[in-house]
Structure 1
Amino acid sequence: MAVEPSAAPPGAPPSSSERRLRADARRNREKLVEVAAALFAEQGVDASLEEIARRAGVGIGTLYRHFPTREHLVEVLYRREVEALCAAAEELAARHPADVALAEWMQRFVGYIAAKRGMAKSLRILLESHGERLADTYRKIPVALQRLVEAAVAEGRIRGDVDHADVLQALSGIYSAPDSPEWQARSRRLVGLLMDGLRHGAPKAAGG
C-alpha cells in the first residue's frame, strides 16, 4: 500500500518547488505588464490580449489568471505609470538643481499623459466602479509636484508666487489637446515654454 506524503504543517516555509512556482508566476506577471505597456503604446488600449500573451511568451489562460479583465490590466498599468512618475520626482530632486528637476519631471509628465490618453476608454470604465481607488493613486501626483515646486521656490530658481496647483492645471491642459502625430513633440515644447515662464524673474534661475 502506497504511503501518501504528509502535508506540510501549517506555517511551514514553502518548499523549493513552491518558491520556484511563485517566482515563475511573478516573472510572468511582470512580463505581461511590460509587454502590455509597450503594445498599448503602439496600438491603444484595444490591443489584442491574445497578442500580449503571445509576446510575453505565455498562454492566454496565464494572462487571465493574473488579469481577469482588460480593466484589471489597465488599472495595474495606470498604477505603474503613477508610481514611476512619483519615483522620478525623488530621483531627479536628488540629482539636479531644483528647477532642472522640475523641468525634467514635467517632461516625464507628458509621457504619463500619453499613457493615460491611450488607456482613457478603460479608465473611464474603472472610474465608474472603482473611482475612489484610482483617485487615491492619482493624489500622489500633486504631492510629488508640490515638493518639486516648493524646492525650486525655496532655492530661488523659479518665481516665488508659483503655486503647484496652477502648474498642474497647466500641465493637465495638455491632455485635452487634439490627438495628432505631432502631439507629444508639441506638448514637450509647451512644457518648455511653461518652464521659461516659471523661471522668469527668479533670482537664481538656471538656463535650459
Structure 2
Amino acid sequence: MARSPALRDHVAAGILDVAATVIAERGESASMSEIAKAAGVGRATLYRYFPSRESLFQALVESAFADLTARIADAKLDTVPVVEALARFTRAVIAAVGKYRALAVFEKSPEQAAAVESGLVAPLESLFERAASEGIFRTDLPVSALIPAYVGLLEGTSTRVVQGQLGLEEASAAITTIFLHGVLDASRRG
C-alpha cells in the first residue's frame, strides 16, 4: 500500500531532523546507517526517501534554508521598530543555526546561494537601509560597512552556538547588544 504524500513528507521531515542532529554531533562523516538507526528506520527505508548520501545532504541543506527564510519571514521585520527587527532577525538566524549546526560543512549550489541572497541578505540589507534612513544607525559609516560588521559578529557567535557554548537567547542578546551598543561600558562612552 502506498503512503499518502502527507505521511511521506512527515517521515522525510523526521529523518531530516534526526540527520541534522547526527551530522552536527558526528560531522560530515556520519554514515547513512548511523542516521537510519538514530531516526528509528531501517536503511532500506532511509534509502527509499533519500536514494544516496548526496540526496540526503541536498535535502538537508534545502530544508535548512527553507526553515531559515521562513523564520525570517515570520519575524515580520518591517512591522516593528528597527531595534526589535534586528533582535528578531538575529534570533531567527541563531535558531536556524542551532537546529542545523552541520550546515557549515556543506557547499552551496548557485541556486542555494541565490536563495540565501533573497531569503537572508535582502531582508538584512532592507533592515539596515531602513535604520539608516530613519537615523537610527550611525551616519559616519555606510550601510555597506555596517552589514559586514554585524554579519561577522553573527558568524562568530554562531560558532559558539554550534559548539554548545552559548544558548539561543544568550547568543541573540549578545549579538544585538554588542552590535547596537558596542562593548564600552556606558560610563566610559564619551
TM-score calculated relative to the size of structure 1: 0.63
Sort the Cα spacing of 1:155 and 1:81 in 2 relative to 1 into closer, same or farther, 3 A: farther
Residue number in structure 2 paired with 1:118: 102
Match status 1:75 vs 2:58? yes
1:156, CA displacement in angstroms?
Answer: 4.3
Bigger shift: residues 173-182 or 100-109: 173-182
Match status 1:194 vs 2:179? yes
Deviating 4+ runs (over 6 angstroms): 176-179, 183-186
Output the CA distance in 1 between the equivalents of 2:89 and 2:59.
22
Match status 1:171 vs 2:156? no
1:174, CA displacement in angstroms?
Answer: 5.2
- What is the letter of the counterpart of residue 136 of structure 1? A
Sort the Cα spacing of 1:166 and 1:80 in 2 relative to 1 into closer, same or farther, 3 A: farther
Match status 1:26 vs 2:12? no
1:50, CA displacement in angstroms?
Answer: 2.1
Output the CA distance in 1 between the equivalents of 2:39 and 2:164.
28
1:142, CA displacement in angstroms?
Answer: 0.7
1:70, CA displacement in angstroms?
Answer: 2.7
Residue number in structure 2 paired with 1:36: 19
Q: Deviations over 1:113-135 (max 9, x none)?
A: 566762333x14xx5xxx32332
- Tell me which of 45, 48, 55 is aligned to 2:38: 55
Sort the Cα spacing of 1:165 and 1:116 in 2 relative to 1 into closer, same or farther, 3 A: farther
Bigger shift: residues 56-65 or 176-185: 176-185
Output the CA distance in 1 between the equivalents of 2:101 and 2:18.
18
The 3-state SS of whatever aligns with 2:66 is helix
TM-score calculated relative to the size of structure 2: 0.68
Output the CA distance in 1 between the equivalents of 2:15 and 2:154.
29
2:132/2:143 contact within 8 Å kept? no
The structure with more radius of gyration? 1
Aligned residues: CA RMSD: 3.4
Output the CA distance in 1 between the equivalents of 2:166 and 2:104.
16
- Tell me which of 80, 83, 88 is aligned to 1:99: 83
How many aligned residue pairs are there?
A: 174
Residue number in structure 1 paired with 2:186: none
1:105, CA displacement in angstroms?
Answer: 1.2
